[in-house]
Structures are given as structure tokens and as C-alpha cells.
Amino acid sequence: MHFRRPGRRRKFTNMFIVTFGLACYFVPALALWPFPKKRFTGNSLMAAGSLGLSGDGRVVAFGDFDGDQLLDVLVLGSDQQTFTVHHWNHEDFIFEDSGTFKHPRKIYNVVPGDFTHSGKLDLLVMSQSQTNNQLDLTLYPSLPGNGFDLKRHPDTNNPLTLPPSTLPQPIPIDVDGDLKIDLLGITPTSTGSSDSIYQIWQNVWNASFQDAPFKGQQCAIANPHSNAVVDLDGDCLADVFLVCDDGRGGKTYQIWINAKDEGFFLSQTGALPSGTQSISFADLNRDGTIDMIFPTCSRVSSSTGVGTDCYINIAYNQQLPLCSSPTDSGLRKGIRICRKPEDLCTADPNFKFDLSDNTDNQAFVKFPVSSLFPSASSLLVLDTTYTPSLPVQLKLGDANLDGFPDLLAITVSGSDQVPNLVYSVSCAHGVAGCGKDGSGSRGWSLAQKGVESLQDVKDARSLSFVDMDEDVGFRVFLLHHTKGLIWRIQGTLDIMVQRTGKADQGNFLFIQNNFYYDAFFLKAIVLNGACDNGWCYGPNGSEKYHPFGVSYSGASYKYTVLDTAGRRSAAQVGQLPQTSYHSLQTPYSFFGLGRTNNYIENLFVGSTLHTAEHYINMEGVIPNSKVVIFPSTNEGQDWKRELFLRPGEWIPWVTVTVVVGMIILAIIVFVLHLNEKREDELERRKISHHINFDAL
């Protein structure tokens, strides 16, 4: 038996310290090399500039015009006649001009959509008419092979002419359940009718328009209006919300419920509060129903568009809640009192909006703008830089991914028009939108930290939520039998600010939402079933492409998710509910999930199909992903679903760290092993030379 010397242990320790220090010195250099430098590094809203957009025009529509799953923009020049499509270039991080063309008359609105059912976006242009009180409707079809690349588009001189509309802009809607885009509005010949005011521009080649299948007392649609195609009774089938002119200077609303082949039935009517401006729709309190929010102002300047003495109003949709327990049947004495998580698309015929302003009505909230913006009590509600003036909406989107939509608003102080981001927060004492005792569903708090890039803007005229860039990646998971390359997506909502161009600041400013949020998101898009099996083919098979750019108004999403405490909640999101008056809504739907340590339990995806099952239920959807749905128009045929997953940004760093760490540890083990063998050999030799005197 023998004992090792203490100096030997110190030698091993010193060697380990030196090796570890060298590893710490060299690993960062090795890890930094394979990856490009981050474009944005601050934890704030960061100004990204105009991203290639220039001139004195304005963005009038979003759309994926080339089908690459990257959002493009349509810019209209200051003459209100010249179009420019800008395709997004991911490599250079800018929008690239794809050419221009000029419409012969002043343009009022543009609606991108696949009206020809070819799997590519067309352009429906609403423009000034030679006849008073009319809108000319013109369709510029996208051509196979070129899409809407205007530098190569040979047919802009031969558009399709549709029958005209009255000044209230028609809205896209799928009336007959074939997933083709029809139009709902009023024609010059229908204004004198008391029974069939609403007309349908049916998407067929052998007819112009027909009486709308709306069964009930019809109203005169207001101009401007906030008409929407969105599910309001909870069955995942889009209904119709119409804003009407009461003929006395006020506004009313009508809700028409979609009964598929039986048409639309008038479900609810009511008066809107005095001074109502544009209405926006979203699930504001995350209860699985679509609510509405809108400002009211006592006075609005026709020259500046500024509303004074303004309030923000929220009307919550009252309908069946989510059952508190998954084992609850949802029935009491044969009457349904709640929805089970697997039955989210169950209609509630007793749903209602109550817009009465009294203390007993908990489903209607009204609070002054000054309580939310102490330094400004006026809102920009009309954009007078465009002719005719455009309504300015409160734009909704989940900027912090907590599952509750936030909002964008433009406040006015003196001559400054400042964009603001407002977060939806839990109710507490002193929070705007909550009771004096802190009671209420949700409150609102002005974002003040890290928003200098917004506060520096003094000439905003329009705001929009938009995902500014969608990084390139690979398909890592899917829900059907498709292979190949895809795009992975960005996980936050950014902001586009359109400006009046004062002080030579330009008309466009994009702001990167670079805050770190410990939460998840989901992005979804329902296509219009234009092509079978997800592939489209040009004439004579000359081109093969995915119809990725052809979403449509009316799709609906409902989902349930568990938070980190195990509480279950439901939420609902609509796809393109509004398109009129430059609504500037993205073709995809984006919603935050909040903090969760689980998959999305049930994701219900609804369409406008007139089939027994107009929706599907997807179970176990992975968060931080994009879902693309190809609905089938054939009864009984499965819908095609694809899921695109965004790898976490730390995965490459973790991989490099693990690999380098394993190599370093292997080297340390090998060196220590050699050293151990050498020391053992030296000790063996020393022992062999010792003389055992006891044995002599």
C-alpha cells in the first residue's frame, strides 16, 4: 500500500484551471464565427427606417403577391392613381420595387384577393366614377408565370370591369360556400328597393349581381362604415356585421347570422353611441368570443380629422363560456350552459351585445381618452391627407404575446400626431378601463419604456401591426404528407407608421418590436381551396406553385391552452374581418398564447364552406409555429394541414456550446489519462528499486 503525494493533486488542479480558462477564452470566438450578427440588439421598439419604401405615396394593402410566404405591400402614389407592388427581399431586408402601373381614375380602395381562383392574388380596385355617387369596380387579374410582378405583367391594360357600387364600399364575402370571393354591397339600381337593398356580386362568369340572401329588414349602409365578416355567435362560421345610417345623423348596427344554404338571418340590431367612429373586432378578454372596440368623439374637425372629448368604448360579446372543468358535460337539465374544450364551435343563439351605458351593464366599458393619455385628450379619427378622408381605426394586435390584444392609437397634442402602443393589462386600482375599486375584465396601460422610436414621430397618419420579416428556414415538422423547403416565421408583431412627410422624414417608418417576451405565439392562414393537394398549375402545366398567398375573409380560429398554473382558457381570432377604407389587415392571423408549458390542446379552424362540418379540430399543435390550412370543397375529403415550426434563436448557440464543451472535456480527460499513466509508471519504477529490509 502507498499514498499519492499532495503535489500531484495540485498539478492536476492547475492543469484543469488552465485548460478551462483557455476554453472560456476560445469558445466565444468559435461560437461567433458561424452566425451573422443580429440586426437588432436592443430590448425596445427600434426604428428600422423605411425599408426601401420611398416617395410621397402610402401603403394601401398587404398581400403575398408572389406566393413566397413573405408579406409584400401595395403602395399608391400621391396622385391616387399609380400603383407599385413592393416584394419583400429577405436577404437584403428591404422591399423591392416590382414596377408600376396607372389606373385611369382616382382610387378609393384596393382589395387584394384571389378573385379568379387561380391560386394567386388579384387586385380589386374601387375608384371614382364618371357618375356621381358611384364607385367603379375594376379587377386586375394576376397572370400565371408572373404573378403580380408589374415589370413583367403584360395585362394591366386589359382589366375586368364589374358592375358599379354606390359610395359605401362593398366588402368581400363568401356567400354561397364555395370559398370564392363574392362582394356584398349596394348597387345604384337597388337603392330604391325596400326589400332587397343589399346586393351580391357573385363570383361567376355568367352573371353580374343578384339579391343578397339576407332575410330581414335591411338598412342603408353608412359611408364610411366598419362592416365586418367575422364569427359572432361562436360556431366558427363567419357572420356579417353592418353599420347603418339611421337618416338622422346617427348610426345603428345589424348582425346577420350565417345559416349556410338558408342564407343570413337578422339576429340583432341596435343604436351605436353618438359620435361613434370606426369599429374594430377582436377577442379582448380572452373568453373565446369576438368583442368590439371603438372611439366616440363629441366633435370631429373635417379639416384636420381630430376628434375631441373622446372616449374609448368596449362591448363584450355575451355568450356561452368555456366550461371550468374538462369533465363538465356543459349541460344543465338539457340546456347548454358552457362549451367543452372539444366543442368550441357550438353556436350560441342567445349571444348579444349590450351597448347601454349604465353601471349595471358589466359587458360595456367606456372611459375617457384622457385617463389613458394624460398629455393628450384628442384622437386622430380621420386621415384628411387622402381624398375622400379615411377613417382611422384603433388597430388591434397582441404585441407582447400574453394572449390579450393590445392596441395602437394616434393622439393629437397641438400640431403633433403621435403614435402610441397601449397594452392590455389586468384590472387594478387606477388602471384605465377598470372600475374605481379596480374591478373589471381588462384594463389598458400606455407603453412608456423602450418606445422612444414611437414617441419621436410627430406626424403619424396611419398605424398598422405587421410582421416585418419572416426568416428563412426548413420544414422541421408537418401535419400531412408534404416534403420540401419552407419559410420559418418571426415571433413578434412589429409596427408600420405612415407619416405625412413633415420635416423631410419620409412617409414610411417601420418599427421592430425587439422586446423579449417570455411567451409563445401562433400564426395561421386559411387558404381559399383554389388548387387540389396544395399545388397549382399554369396553362398546359407551364408552371407549378403553391397558393400560399390567397387567404380570404371569413376564416375563424378558436383554441384552448393551459397556462403554467394549469388554468385553461379559450380565445378566438378572425381572418381578414375588414378590408374597406384601407383597413390594412394582414392576410394571416397572429395571436399570442401567453406563457404555457404545453401544446395547444384544441385548435379549431373554421371556413365558410356550406358543408356539414365547416371546421376541423387540430389537437396538440406546437406553439411558436405557423399553420397553413388547405380546406377541401369536396364533402368528406380531408383538409390538408401544414405546420411550420420556428426554431428558437438559442438552438445554434446551445449546439455549438455542447459540441465545443464535449471536445474540450474529451481533451482534458485524455490529457489527464496520459498524465495518470505517466505518474503511475514513475511510481512503479521507484517502488521496484526499494529494498525491503525486513525481509533480510
pLDDT tens-digit readout, 650-682: 667 778 889 999 999 999 999 999 999 999 888
Pairwise CA distance, residues 180 & 426, whole Å: 41
Pairwise CA distance, residues 375 & 398, whole Å: 25
Q: Who wins on pLDDT, 538 or 242?
A: 242
Given a cut of 60, whether residue 293 has pLDDT beyond it is: yes
DSSP code of residue 141: P
Between the CA of residue 433 and those of 293, 369, 401, 544, what are the distances in Å? 12, 10, 20, 52
The answer to whether the CB of 462 falls within 8 A of the CB of 392 is: yes
Between the CA of residue 308 and those of 296, 381, 463, what are the distances in Å? 9, 10, 19
When mean pLDDT is compared across 48-57, 324-333, 550-559, the lowest value belongs to: 324-333
Q: Who wins on pLDDT, 683 or 127?
A: 127
- Give the count of beta carbons closer than 10 Å to the beta carbon of residue 216: 14
Sequence-ordered list of residues with C-beta below 8 angstroms from that of 276, at least 6 positions apart, any chain? 251, 294, 296, 313
pLDDT score for 691: 62
Average pLDDT over residues 398-408: 95
Name the percent of the chain lying above pLDDT 70.
85
When mean pLDDT is compared across 6-10, 185-189, 423-427, the lowest value belongs to: 6-10
Helix (H, G, I), strand (E, B) or coil at 372: coil
Average pLDDT over residues 56-60: 94
How many residues comprise the chain? 696
DSSP code of residue 665: H
Sequence-ordered list of residues with C-beta below 8 angstroms from that of 589, at least 6 positions apart, any chain? 523, 524, 525, 555, 557, 573, 574, 575
Given a cut of 60, whether residue 482 has pLDDT beyond it is: no
Pairwise CA distance, residues 21 & 655, whole Å: 20
Band of the pLDDT at 692, cuts 50, 70, 90?
Answer: low
Given a cut of 90, whether residue 359 has pLDDT beyond it is: no
Pairwise CA distance, residues 266 & 264, whole Å: 7
Identify the burial level of 142 via C-beta atoms within 10 angstroms of its C-beta, where 0-12 means exposed, 13-18 middle and 19 or more buried. Answer: buried
Q: What is the pLDDT of residues 587-641, one digit of tens each?
A: 999 999 998 878 899 999 999 999 999 999 999 998 888 999 999 888 778 899 9
pLDDT score for 596: 86
Pairwise CA distance, residues 314 & 316, whole Å: 6
Given a cut of 60, whether residue 123 has pLDDT beyond it is: yes
Band of the pLDDT at 144, cuts 50, 70, 90?
Answer: low
The answer to whether the CB of 229 falls within 8 A of the CB of 554 is: yes
Average pLDDT over residues 399-407: 95
Between the CA of residue 545 and those of 113, 528, 549, what are the distances in Å? 17, 15, 11
The answer to whether the CB of 620 falls within 8 A of the CB of 479 is: no
Q: What is the pLDDT of residues 59-107, one digit of tens each?
A: 999 999 888 889 999 999 999 999 999 999 988 999 999 888 899 999 9
Residue whose grid cell is 384544441: 602
> Which amino acid does the sequence have at 574?
G
Query: How high is the mean pLDDT of the chain?
Result: 86
- CA proximity to 401, closest of 516, 496, 554, 243: 516
pLDDT score for 262: 94
Given a cut of 50, whether residue 571 has pLDDT beyond it is: yes
Name the percent of the chain lying above pLDDT 90.
63
DSSP code of residue 260: G
Helix (H, G, I), strand (E, B) or coil at 337: coil
Q: What is the pLDDT of residues 21-40, one digit of tens each?
A: 544 444 444 444 455 566 77
DSSP code of residue 51: T
Average pLDDT over residues 523-532: 89
Band of the pLDDT at 315, cuts 50, 70, 90?
Answer: very high
Identify the burial level of 121 via C-beta atoms within 10 angstroms of its C-beta, where 0-12 means exposed, 13-18 middle and 19 or more buried. Answer: buried
Given a cut of 50, whether residue 311 has pLDDT beyond it is: yes
Tell me whether the omega of the peptide bond preceding residue 388 falls within 30 degrees of 0, making it cis: yes
> Which amino acid does the sequence have at 371?
S
Pairwise CA distance, residues 7 & 26, whole Å: 29
The answer to whether the CB of 229 falls within 8 A of the CB of 553 is: yes
> Which amino acid does the sequence have at 378?
S
Q: Who wins on pLDDT, 189 or 312?
A: 312
Q: What is the pLDDT of residues 412-440, one digit of tens each?
A: 999 999 999 999 999 999 999 999 889 99
Pairwise CA distance, residues 288 & 403, whole Å: 11
The C-alpha angle with vertex 164 and arms to 260 and 129, in degrees rounded to 5, equals 150
Band of the pLDDT at 148, cuts 50, 70, 90?
Answer: low
Pairwise CA distance, residues 140 & 110, whole Å: 11
User: DSSP per residue over 283-308, as a string?
Assistant: -SSSSSS-EEEEEEEEEE-TTT-EEE
Given a cut of 80, whether residue 150 has pLDDT beyond it is: no
Given a cut of 70, whether residue 198 has pLDDT beyond it is: yes
- CA proximity to 525, closest of 468, 603, 581: 603
Sequence-ordered list of residues with C-beta below 8 angstroms from that of 302, at least 6 positions apart, any chain? 382, 384, 389
Q: Who wins on pLDDT, 374 or 538?
A: 374
pLDDT score for 539: 72
Sequence-ordered list of residues with C-beta below 8 angstroms from that of 436, at least 6 positions apart, any chain? 429
Q: In the structure grid, which three cell numbers stand for residue 395, read together?
A: 388597430
Average pLDDT over residues 444-453: 94
